[in-house]
Amino acid sequence: MSDSPYALSLEGVTKRLRGRNVLDGMTLRVPKGETFVIIGPSGTGKSVTLKHMIGLMPPDSGRILVEGEDITTASPEQLDAARTKFGVLFQNGALLNSLTVGENVALPLREHTTLPEDEIRRIVKEKLAMVDMAGAEDATPDAISGGMKKRVGLARAIVREPQIILYDEPTSGLDPVMSNVINHLILNMKKTLHVTSVVVTHDMGSAYLIADRIAMIHHGRILQEGTPKEILQTKDPVVRQFIDGSIQGPLTTEAA
Ligand SMILES: Nc1ncnc2c1ncn2[C@@H]1O[C@H](COP(=O)(O)OP(=O)(O)OP(=O)(O)O)[C@@H](O)[C@H]1O
Ligand SMILES: [Mg+2]
């Protein structure tokens, strides 16, 4: 265990993909127990940033620390140990259609633990209840709605009681009511499990509601970071255009 105040930090991370510096000296620090929201235009490296945090993509240079431990110099065993601290909610839920909802949620326990079947069933039931999907064990993923899939994906992400949860676009494609259900689940995870969360989103309503801090990525690094209030009052023309969704502005000129 480390006494680092940060659950996660990226220190000057550079990553070149397809001839472009997608991450270009990215430095960010996520305090323990907080919800850190990453915003930014499409293709700016938000998902790539999440992949670096969990060690799925190695940086070209720079360091990535998980609870103060450098995972860029870690052995495969240390990296595995660091990964057990994470739960990840993928954009589309990433459920396996060949398995039932219950089997999907149980998968990380079956793959990584030797818990007995009745204990696995108990934990799955408990996690499905936490996301308001009690009794859905025997449903198949193709028979449930998009919002339900996200909730089942979240149950699977928390099944091993992670300290850090990464969410990639948790509310995209959902109606406003279901988006709010997911927002409140994210708030609840923080309150009841005291997890650290990193949320990538385009949904500014969600960002303002759930974030302790919001960081906008632009040109491979953080352009501005602050509390929702500070971001709402931004004087940076790029951040301003992005959060207002204005057609006119520096982002449009760049894209042209
Ligand atoms: N595995 C990969 N190999 C090569 N290039 C990649 C890879 N993953 C991402 N990229 C490139 O890196 C850039 C950033 O991608 P990323 O998926 O992080 O964007 P994003 O900010 O998450 O966008 P979106 O909002 O559309 O999800 C893109 O140009 C993408 O093509
Ligand atoms: Mg993405």
Per the domain annotation, does 203 fall within a domain? Answer: yes
Per the domain annotation, does 219 fall within a domain? Answer: yes
The length of the chain is: 256
- DSSP line for 201-252: -S-HHHHHHH-SEEEEEETTEEEEEE-HHHHHT---HHHHHHHHT-SSSHHH
| Cβ-contact 2, 85 below 8 angstroms | no
Per the domain annotation, does 124 fall within a domain? Answer: no
**pLDDT at residue 93, as a whole number:** 66
Model pTM? 0.91
**pLDDT at residue 2, as a whole number:** 63
Residue 33: give its domain's CATH number.
3.40.50.300
Alpha-carbon gap, residue 40 to 29, rounded angstroms? 17
Per the domain annotation, does 99 fall within a domain? Answer: no
Would you say the CB of residue 151 lies under 6 angstroms from ligand 1? no
Per the domain annotation, does 178 fall within a domain? Answer: no
The CA 220 to ligand 1 mean position distance, Å, reads: 11
Would you say the CB of residue 235 lies under 6 angstroms from ligand 1? no
User: Edge-to-edge strand order for the sheet containing 221-226?
Assistant: 86-89, 164-168, 196-200, 35-39, 213-218, 221-226
Domain holding 23, by residue range, is 1-85+194-256
Q: Which ligand is nearest to the CA of 41?
A: 1
**pLDDT at residue 94, as a whole number:** 81
Q: Pull the structure tokens for residue 75.
A: 């052995």
Total domains in the fold of the chain: 1
The CA 143 to ligand 1 mean position distance, Å, reads: 30
| 51-77 pLDDT tens trace | 999 998 999 999 999 999 999 999 989
| Cβ-contact 21, 15 below 8 angstroms | yes
Local confidence band at 91 (pLDDT 50, 70, 90 cut-offs): confident
* β-pair partners for 29: 9
Per the domain annotation, does 3 fall within a domain? Answer: yes
Q: Ligand 1: which atom is nearest the Cα of residue 169?
A: 27
Residue 140 has pLDDT above 90, yes or no: yes
Alpha-carbon gap, residue 23 to 49, rounded angstroms? 8
* β-pair partners for 7: none
Would you say the CB of residue 44 lies under 6 angstroms from ligand 1? yes
| 12-63 pLDDT tens trace | 999 999 999 999 999 999 999 999 999 999 899 999 999 999 998 999 999 9
Averaged pLDDT of the chain: 92
Per the domain annotation, does 167 fall within a domain? Answer: no
What is the three-class DSSP state of 26?
Answer: strand
What is the three-class DSSP state of 160?
Answer: coil
Distances (CA, A) of 166 to 68, 119, 154, 225, 228: 18, 26, 10, 18, 19
Per the domain annotation, does 243 fall within a domain? Answer: yes
Q: How many CB atoms lie within 10 A of CB 138?
A: 9
Ligand 1: which residue has its CA nearest to atom 2? 17
